[in-house]
Amino acid sequence: MLTPEENARLTRVSPGTPMGELFRRYWIAAALSSELPEPDGAPIRLRLLGEDLIGFRDTTGAVGLVDAFCPHRRAPMFFGRNEDCGLRCVYHGWKFDRTGACVDMPSLRQSSGQAPPPDLLFKTKVSIGAYPTHEAGGVVWTYMGPPALQPPLPDFEFLRTPATHRYISKSVEDCNWLQALEGGIDTSHSSFTHNNDIHNKGLVRNADTAPVLEVERTGYGFRYAGIRQVGSEQYARVYHYVMPATQFRGFVLDWDGTIRETPTLRGHFWVPIDDETTATYNFMWAYDPAIPLTPEYNRQSETNSGRGPGDVLPDFRMRKNLANDYEIDRLLQKTKTFTGITGLHSQDYAVQEGMGAICDRSREHLGTTDRAIITARQLLFEALEAAATNATPCGADPASFRDLRPVDLMIPAGVRWQDALARDLAAKF
């Protein structure tokens, strides 16, 4: 368990907090590219790491990410005119480009009353806060840390995968980011929370509900396998945790142990909106380069996860939520599924949001299947120390994770998963 002080150190992300400063040392997801569909289109409100920001796509198609308020009189830039490669405040017309530079001050005059020259000196002294952006994989990425310490651009295999072979969506969770992350790297809960057929003993997650966890530290975080005994074989589900808040997992086998018709690899980017709210980016990409992901498959996958049509509200929050008890069906829980809640995503949110806005980890009692969570916390504390001295924190260098991929497959009993799955754990795109 953690002390209350340690828990606060890991969970608080506002500017100036240790974890907030650590997150600012990485490229993080700011928005889906689809949220800014066209040049000179409507700006969007964003909140990242406790900061209020505005995103806009300028005339060239490049994305700007600037402070939510004009530096003149703090008017809201959300109402700004997105025009001619800049966002113009509607209060007095001051205009800023995506780098934050002020490019026009039409409301000002010289002391003589004449119109100001094009290179008005005051214009060069005023800027709006802005962060660099990068688009890849249908995501707008940003770096919010010290410019001198900016790491290379993210380079996950998912980002290099053709658009025909990948899919991403977004949802907002009303709890602290660490609850979401720790749920994602906990492989043992799938035998319970996601058990939608409790009477079927032929399912791989029902055959062994107490997997053996093997965790290996890496240059990006760790990889680990949950090993379940299934008859004379082993079901090996290998995850990756990329610091500070990314998870990869295999989705190759169906629950009966056979290869899926469309095998995929999946994961999440978790980004703190603030201390008590988290943006979850849910992505998947093709396991086999010869099998693309069809729009029909993507829609069905989202529906199965509880993120189908009508399940996600305009603000990216889920229709099933704590206020309506995630529409739990107690009869379904009694007769068919472990939770009585439909949709894998909704099942996770019910547990994670149900812990409260920020879980009190000083009251936990961790067991043998919590090795991954314990290791993740150790890595985070170590990264906090590295960031405090301006050293490069674990997982900031994309070279450490560019060639990895997860997998879940059956392997012979007595064979090490590292050996049996070596080829499957290497990127194909």
Give the residue from 204, 218, 306 showing the smallest Cα distance to 250. 204
Kindly list the averaged pLDDT for each block of 10 residues, start to end, along the chain of length 429. Answer: 96 98 98 98 98 98 98 97 97 97 84 59 88 98 98 98 98 98 93 91 81 95 94 94 98 93 98 98 98 97 94 96 97 96 95 97 94 97 97 97 96 95 97
User: Using an 8 Å Cβ cutoff, are 213 and 225 in contact?
Assistant: yes
Virtual torsion, Cα 73, 131, 273, 62, nearest 10 deg: 100
Give the residue from 334, 391, 423, 401 showing the smallest Cα distance to 146. 391
The structure tokens listed for 20 are 């907030």
Give the residue from 311, 306, 314 showing the smallest Cα distance to 347. 306
Q: Side chain identity at 274, as an amino acid letter? A: D
Distance CA 75, CA 89 (A): 7
Q: At what angle do helices 371-388 and 177-184 cross, to 10 degrees?
A: 130
Q: How far is CA 108 from CA 12, 37, 76, 237, in A?
A: 42, 34, 20, 63
Q: Residue 113: its pLDDT value, please? A: 57
Q: Side chain identity at 98, as an amino acid letter? A: R
SS3 258: coil
In the chain the domains, ranked by start, together with CATH numbers, are 27-149 (2.102.10.10), 157-420 (3.90.380.10)
Question: In this predicted model, what pLDDT tens digit does every residue of 187-213 receive, in sequence order?
Answer: 889 889 999 999 888 788 777 888 899
Are β-strands 233-242 and 102-104 bridged in parallel, bridged antiparallel, or unpaired? unpaired
Q: Side chain identity at 85, as an amino acid letter? A: C
Q: Residue 205: its pLDDT value, please? A: 76
Question: In this predicted model, what pLDDT tens digit does every residue of 237-285 receive, in sequence order?
Answer: 999 999 999 999 999 999 888 999 999 999 999 999 999 999 999 999 9
